[in-house]
């Protein structure tokens, strides 16, 4: 959290109560995947007063631009945000129940990189999830 605030300050940006609250929520995010609405809700609780959704979006956008956050799409619902990691991971989502698991990038990168290279592409990040059926939904 201190890191996020410091980075914003280093960019010449102003540190408002709303931003502080959002940074706190984001920093406290473990490997959770929060939607913008989730972040907003928690920020409101942290701050004890309403924080506008547009402010949440704008702040998340800033943090994403600075490289602290990524947002991914796990399904048809809202996009979800999570802290950037060194390694990164793909997401495997059940089409039926929505359960999601993280897949270390190292498990899939070799092939994806190779395939992408065949088309002149460079795979970067994991903006969309891989879809399938989880164990429970297969048996059901």
Residues that bind a second copy (CB under 8 A): 73, 92, 94-95, 101, 103, 107-108, 110-112, 115-116, 118-135, 138
Residue 91 as a binder of DNA (CB under 7 A): the answer is: no
Nearest approach in angstroms of CB 100 to DNA is 15
Q: List, in sequence order, the alpha helices (H) in 11-104.
A: 17-27, 36-47, 53-65
Residue 61 as a binder of DNA (CB under 7 A): the answer is: yes
Q: By C-alpha distance, which of 102, 73, 100 is closest to 85? A: 102
User: Would you say 43 and 51 are in contact if contact means Cβ atoms under 8 Å apart?
Assistant: yes
At 77, list the tokens: 């619902």
At 6, list the tokens: 């410091």
1 binding partner (options DNA, a second copy, none; Cβ < 5 to 8 Å by kind)? none
88 binding partner (options DNA, a second copy, none; Cβ < 5 to 8 Å by kind)? none
Residue 19 as a binder of DNA (CB under 7 A): the answer is: yes
């Amino acid at each position: 959290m201190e890191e996020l605030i410091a980075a914003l300050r280093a960019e010449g940006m102003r540190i408002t109560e709303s931003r502080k609250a959002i940074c706190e929520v984001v920093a406290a995010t473990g490997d959770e995947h929060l939607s913008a609405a989730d972040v907003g809700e928690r920020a409101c609780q942290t701050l004890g007063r309403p924080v506008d959704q547009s402010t949440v979006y704008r702040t998340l956008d800033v943090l994403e631009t600075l490289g602290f956050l990524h947002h991914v799409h796990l399904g048809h619902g809202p996009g979800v945000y999570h802290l950037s990691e060194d390694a990164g991971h793909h997401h495997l989502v059940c089409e039926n129940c929505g359960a999601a698991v993280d897949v270390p990038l190292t498990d899939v990168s070799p092939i994806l990189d190779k395939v992408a290279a065949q088309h002149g592409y460079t795979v970067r990040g994991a903006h969309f999830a891989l879809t399938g059926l989880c164990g429970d939904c297969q048996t059901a």
